[in-house]
Amino acid sequence: MSGLKTIEGVTDAINAEAVEARAAGEPEWLRERRRHAWRVYEETPMPTTRLEEWRYTDLTEKLDLGSLHLGTTERLPDDPASFPTGLQEAMAQDREASGHLVLIDGAVVHTDIRDDLSEKGVILCSLRDALRKHPEMVDRYLATAAVPPEEGKFQALNAALWSDGVFLHVPRGVRLDVPVRVTRWISEPGAAFFSRTLIVAEPTSQVSYVDEILSDDLDAQTLTSSAVEVITQDGAQVQYVAVQRLGTGAFYLSQQRTLAYRDSTLDTLNVNLGASVSRVDLNARLLGPGANSDMLGLYFGDGDQHFDHNTSQDHVAGHANSDLLYKGALDGSSRAVFRGVIRVHEGAQQTDAYQTNRNLLLSDRARADSLPNLEIAADDVKCSHGATVGQLDEESLFYLMSRGLPRERAERLVVLGFLGEVLSRLPLGGVQEKVTRAIAAKLASHH
């Protein structure tokens, strides 16, 4: 054996030179942050199934890092007519918005924001623009408080190699009545994309944010890695929605952390319908009394899709609430993993925390694994969790069929009803209809 140690996850495309190339021309603090992240990446072993959080997702079989090249960062013209059809269709379904941001293959190609909001100081722009115009804000939050590289191998990789992303800042007291919409399109097979989202809501402000990622089927494995940092300061309200409708071949990796301060509300909804492999890490931190987080999730799998949701509800401060509901239906030989933990830290009295995961198996080859965990270090709390796995409720089916519906339509209705519970808890302009339509289309393709 030679004395050389191979470093896990370093490839022809993913290496220290690539990090330097990304860092070129950036301010020194950011270059240093990237280099630090890269060192953490090198020092962190590749997660294996022996690691609790990766127990059910075997990366040696699911992810071939060596086959990936870095996505091109060339910016396409801002011409909606020339956008890929799938992207145009998705955007056409959206209703009114406070502003838009469109990314194609990781590069921001379009940004707009309503004038009145812009005048009130709301910032919606690409992360690179934010670096130029508001470096102090980016410096303060990016890859520090929310998703630092020390969180894990892929968090480190993202912090070292991100190419661009979204920056949303809502000043004190400003309230947006309709959502900010971000739409991402992926078209380059075999590429790896690294993007970051940073949302800061100042005290008593309010915003809802919908981020949709789509692609056609990709004929080679394609990685989309995103790090999402959402911060709600005292009394602010944020709704964060991520809708994933990537094609087969995609490996979707989304690593999110939400920081909710005193009396703030920070709700999230993760909808996963597409991609071959979809992994979401969501850590909700309740940092001030009165903070509240509703955490919703919905997934529908078929073929050999693999979903892995890894959530945590960290009650650092007392007198805060969190309520998680993740529901999924699985057809074909698809598989879903839900691993969630409620952590009530010492002294976090008067915590109310709940967690529910429900799975519907629609096929005899589908599989669901559920690990709802509790770690409670304070006694004056209300905590509970529940998990169920079952098949379609024959009684409801029978009822619908007795009313003259053919079995297939009855099944579709029962599945939509089952998943619909999640959507009805976050009524946000257009999201419910859009996701319902996408699920219905997926269900229809089975019969």
Partner 1 sequence: MSDWVRVAGAGDCPPGSLLSVTAGGEAVVLANVEGHLYALRDRCSHADFPLHDGFLEGTELECIHHGAKFDVCTGAARSLPAVRPVKSYPVEVREGDVFIQTG
Partner 2 sequence: MPQNEVIQGLDLDTYKYGFIDEEKHVFRTRPGLDEDVVRQISAHKGEPEWMLDFRLKALKIYESKPMPTWGGDLTSLEDTLKEIYFYVKPQEKMERSWDDVPADIKNTFEKLGIPEAEQKILAGVGAQYESEMVYHSLKQEWEDKGVIFDSIEDGLRNHPELFRKYFGTVIPTADNKFAAMNSAVWSGGSFVYIPPGVELDTPLQAYFRVNQERMGQFERTLIIAGENSRAHYIEGCTAPVYSTESFHSGVIEIVVEKGAHFRYTTIQNWSNNMYNLVTQRALVHENATMEWLDGNLGSKLTMKYPSCYLVGEGAHGNILSIAYAGDGQHQDTGGKVVHAAPRTTSSIVSKSISKGTGRSSYRGLLKVYDGATGAKSNVECDALLINETARTDTYPYIEIDEQTAHIGHEATVSKIGDEQLFYLMSRGMSEEVAMAMIVRGFIEPIAKELPLEYAVELNRLIELEMEGSVG
C-alpha distance across the termini of the chain, in Å: 56
Least distance (Å) between residue 369 CB and partner 1: 11
Which CB sits closer to partner 2, 249 or 372? 372
The contact mask relative to partner 2 for 35-74 (x = CB under 8 A, - = no) is: -----------------x----------------------
Residue 312 phi/psi, 5° resolution?
-145, 145
Q: CB–CB of 128/108 below 8 Å?
A: yes
Choose one: 58-66, 142-150, 260-268, 426-434; the region binding partner 1 (CB under 8 A). Answer: 58-66
Q: Helix, strand, or coil here: 57?
A: coil
Q: Is the dihedral of CA 37, 38, 43, 44 positive or negative?
A: positive
Least distance (Å) between residue 344 CB and partner 2: 8
Count of residues touching partner 2 (by CB under 8 A)? 35
Q: CB–CB of 86/214 below 8 Å?
A: yes
Selection from partner 1, partner 2, none that 403 binds (CB < 5 to 8 A by kind) is none
Tokens 């996701």 -> residue:
435
Q: CB–CB of 243/435 below 8 Å?
A: yes
Strands 206-215 and 237-245: parallel
Least distance (Å) between residue 370 CB and partner 1: 17
Instruction: Map the footprint of partner 1 across residues 312-371, applying CB under 8 A.
Output: none
User: CB 437: neighbour CB atoms within 10 A?
Assistant: 11
Selection from partner 1, partner 2, none that 115 binds (CB < 5 to 8 A by kind) is none
- Does residue 364 touch partner 2 according to CB under 8 A? yes
> Pick from 32, 43, 45, 49: which binds partner 1 (CB under 8 A)?
49
- Does residue 61 touch partner 1 according to CB under 8 A? yes
- Does residue 395 touch partner 2 according to CB under 8 A? no
The contact mask relative to partner 2 for 313-352 (x = CB under 8 A, - = no) is: ----------------------------------x-x---
AA letter at 276: S
Selection from partner 2, partner 1, none that 7 binds (CB < 5 to 8 A by kind) is none
Tell me 302's DSSP state.
-
Query: Where does 127-221 show beta strands of DSSP type E?
Result: 164-170, 180-186, 191-201, 206-215
- Does residue 6 touch partner 1 according to CB under 8 A? no
> Pick from 43, 58, 217, 380: which binds partner 1 (CB under 8 A)?
58
Tell me 54's DSSP state.
G
Q: Which two tokens stand for residue 78?
A: 């801002």
Q: CB–CB of 337/305 below 8 Å?
A: no
Instruction: Map the footprint of partner 1 across residues 191-250, applying CB under 8 A.
Output: none
> Pick from 76, 389, 401, 405: which binds partner 2 (CB under 8 A)?
389
Q: What contacts 351, CB < 8 A, 6 or more positions away?
A: 315, 318, 319, 320, 321, 344, 378, 381, 382, 383
> Pick from 7, 21, 220, 377: which binds partner 2 (CB under 8 A)?
377
> Pick from 166, 170, 191, 381: which binds partner 2 (CB under 8 A)?
381
Least distance (Å) between residue 272 CB and partner 2: 19
Tell me 175's DSSP state.
B
Binding site for partner 1 (CB under 8 A): 49-50, 58, 60-61
Binding site for partner 2 (CB under 8 A): 52, 347, 349, 359, 361-391
